[in-house]
Amino acid sequence: MTYQYIDNQKDLEQLCDTLSQASMLAIDTEFVRTRTLYAKLGLLQVSNGKELALIDPIAVTDLTPFWQLLTDPNILKVLHACSEDLEVFMTAGHCKPENLIDTQIMMSFLGHGLSIGYAAMVKHYLDIELDKSESRTDWTKRPLSQRQLVYASADVEHLHALFPTLLAETKQVGFLDYAQEESQALIEKKFTPVEESTLYRSVKLAWRLNPVQLNRLKYLTIWRYQQAQKRDLPIGFIAKDHTIMALAQYNPSSTAAMFQLEGPEQLDIRHKGKAMLDVLKKAEQESEQNYPAKVKRLDEYPGYKQIFKSVKQFVAKVSKTKEIPVENLASKKQINQFLTWHFKLSNDELNKGDIDLLSGWRNKVLGDELLQFSANNFQ
C-alpha cells in the first residue's frame, strides 16, 4: 500500500475528515526518549485500510484534528503494545483515547504470552518477515529517509490487514470482552495522575527507614519528580535512588558532610547538593504526626513464601479449568497485591474493588473462589 506523507495543516485536515468516516483505524507512533522524561513524538502512522498516512508532527504544529479521532467513541482504534503510545497521546496531545484495543493484549489471551512483538504477530498471521533495522532510528531528525518511511508505514498497514482475523479468533475463544477491559485498564492506569506523596514507597529499600527518615525521603522524591517534570529529564538524571536514600537516612547538614557518606553519587551532590539540603530542611519542619508510617514488607509476613506458592498453585488450577492463560489471570504483582490486602499490610486503606484479582473480569473468573480459598487456608 502506498502512503501519503502529511506535512501541512490543510492536508492533515482533509485526511482526518476522511478518516473520521472509518469504523476502525490502525495507529502507531514513532518517538524518541533518551535523555528526557517525556517521549518526543517523531511520526504518527494511521490507516483505515484504504488510505495510509504518515503525519509529520514536527512540520504540522496543530494536530488537533488527529487527536479528535482518538477521542471519537465511534471509531475503534487498534494499536499494538500501546503503553508508550498512550504516554505520547497524553503528553503531546493531552487527549485520552476512547474505544481502543491493544492487539498485544488480544494475542496474550490466545496463548502467545504477554509481550509478543509486532513483527512476530505479523509473521504468525501474514507470514511476512518485517525489516526491523530502523527501530532504533532518531525519528525527530529531518529529513526522514525513504527506508524509514517504508518501515513506519508497515506498522499500520499489516496491523489493519490482520486485525479482522485476530478479532475473530479472540471472539471465538470468548475473551474479547476481557481484552477490551484490559486495554481500558491500561489507559486508566496511564492517565491516573502520579500521587507525589507516595513516590517514596517505590524507592528500593525504603522499608529499611523509620518514619523520620521516610519523611525526608518523601520530600526528596517529591522534589526530584517535580524537577524532572520542570526540566523534562529522566528521574535518575536529577538524583539517583541511592543518593536520596543516603541523605534521608543520615540527614547531613552540609554538602561537605554529604561527600563523607557512603552511597550518594558524587555528581548528584556536586550539582544538586545545595538544593537537596534545602529539601531536607523543609522536611524537618514537617509535623511528626504527618510522618509516613513504616513501610510494611509482605515478604516478612510469617509463612509468606508458602502462602504465595499455594495461591499461585490455586490460580494455576483455575486457569486450567477456565482455559485462560495463567499469566493473564494473575501476575506475581497481582497476587502480592491481593495478599497485602488480605493481611491488611498496606499503608493505604484498600477496598475490595482496588484489588485486581477481585475486580472486573478477574473477579468473575476467580474472585469468590479465591476469597473462599484464602479464608479456608490462611488468616
Q: Which of the residues 155, 182, 241, 268 is marked catalytic? A: 155
Q: Which of the residues 3, 102, 118, 151 is marked catalytic? A: 151
DSSP 294: P
Q: Is 28 a catalytic residue?
A: yes
Contact 59, 8 (CB under 8 A): yes
List the one residue out of 205, 204, 243, 251 whose CA is nearest residue 224: 243
Q: At 216, which amino acid appears?
A: R
Count of H helices and E strands in the chain? 17, 6
Q: How far, rounded to the nearest angstrom, does the alpha carbon of residue 318 sit from its chain's CA centroid?
A: 27
Contact 234, 35 (CB under 8 A): yes
The phi, psi pair for 25, rounded to 5°, reads -130, 135
CA dihedral defined by 164, 27, 135, 103, rounded to 10 degrees? -40
Q: State which H helix or E strand residue 249 sits in.
A: helix 241-250
Which residues, 6 or more positions from 193, have their beta carbon under 8 angstroms from its beta carbon? none
Q: Is 138 a catalytic residue?
A: no
d(CA 283, CA 331): 37
List the one residue out of 227, 213, 220 whose CA is nearest residue 199: 220
Q: Is 84 a catalytic residue?
A: no
Residue 256 grid coordinates: 561537605
Cis preceding-peptide flag for 264 (omega within 30 of 0): no
Q: At 62, which amino acid appears?
A: D
Q: Is 85 a catalytic residue?
A: yes
Q: At 197, which amino acid appears?
A: S
Q: What distances in angstroms separate CA 112 from CA 32, 246, 322, 364, one per listed residue?
A: 28, 43, 17, 23
Q: What is the CA radius of gyration of the chain?
A: 24
Q: Which of the residues 3, 28, 56, 219 is marked catalytic? A: 28
Residues in the chain: 379
Q: Which of the residues 30, 56, 102, 268 is marked catalytic? A: 30
Q: Which of the residues 85, 102, 241, 268 is marked catalytic? A: 85
Give me the residue label for grid cell 475473551.
175
d(CA 161, CA 303): 51
Q: Is 349 a catalytic residue?
A: no
Indicate which residues carry an active-site annotation: 28, 30, 85, 151, 155
